[in-house]
Amino acid sequence: MPQDPTERRVVVTGPPRRTRRASGYSRPRTEIDEQTTLGHTYVRSLMRTQLRAPLVFAATPDSHRLEWLILGFCLYAPLVLLALWYVRRAERNERDFVRLVEDR
């Protein structure tokens, strides 16, 4: 690990990154695109459900108990499960990708 401040700056902003561009990886683009759609799909489904909730609460006149129950206690476990699922998919994605590149 570099400890001298000037050396550290090189790691952060430094030219090595820019020179490495020449190595010409076209594959990462696929990976990036893949991850974008993957992430978008998850988020879209999550947001669609989440964003409907206030409407449901507003539309149901006697929804206070429901609101307490759902907002207070029922949303956190699904959030964690969704995150776990995403991480597993993302890591598998990356492993596959590494294998693909190394086999080349």
Partner 1 sequence: MNSSYAVPAVALVVVVTVLVGAFGLRISRTTSDFYVASRTVGPRLNAAAISGEYLSAASFLGIAGLVLVQGPDMLWYPVGYTAGYLVLLLFVAAPLRRSGAYTLPDFAEARLASHAVRRLAGAFVVGVGWLYLLPQLQGAGLTLTVLTGAPDSLGGLIVAVVVVATVAAGGMRSITFVQAFQYWLKLTALLVPALFLILAWQSDGAPRRAFEEPATFREQRAVRVDETLDLRLDHLLTVTVTGKVDGHAHDAAKLQLPAGTHHIERGTRLTFAKGTPVPVADRGTNGGMSTSLAASREERPLYATYGLILATFLGTMGLPHVVVRFYTSPHGVAARRTTVAVLGLIGAFYLLPPVYGALGRLYTPELTLTGDADAAVLLLPDRMIGGVGGDLLGALVAGGAFAAFLSTASGLTMAVAGVLTQDVLPSRGVRHFRLGTVLAMAVPLAASVLVGGLPVADAVGLAFAVSASSFCPLLVLGIWWTRLTPPGAAAGMLVGGGSAFVAVAATMAGFPGTGPLHALLAWPALWSVPLGFLTMVLVSLATPGRVPTGTAAILARFHLPEELRAEVKA
- Nearest alpha carbon to residue 93 among 36, 47, 44: 36
- 36: which 2 tokens? 């974008």
Q: Return d(Cα 44, Cα 50) in angstroms, integer.
A: 10
Q: Least CB distance from residue 7 to partner 1, whole Å?
A: 10
Give the footprint of partner 1 on this chain (CB under 8 A). 1-5, 8-9, 11-13, 17-18, 20-21, 23, 25, 28-29, 31-32, 35-36, 39, 42-43, 46, 50-51, 54-55, 57-58, 64-65, 67-68, 71-73, 75-77, 79-80, 82-84, 86-87, 90-91, 94-95, 97-98, 101-102
How far is Cα 74 from Cα 72, in angstroms, rounded to an integer?
A: 6
Give min distance, CB of 94 to partner 1, in A. 4
Q: Which amino acid is at 74?
A: C
In whole angstroms, the minimum distance from the beta carbon of 83 to partner 1 comes to: 5
Closest CA to 85 of 48, 51, 41, 47: 41
Instruction: For the CB of residue 79, give the shortest distance to partner 1 in the complex, in Å.
Output: 6
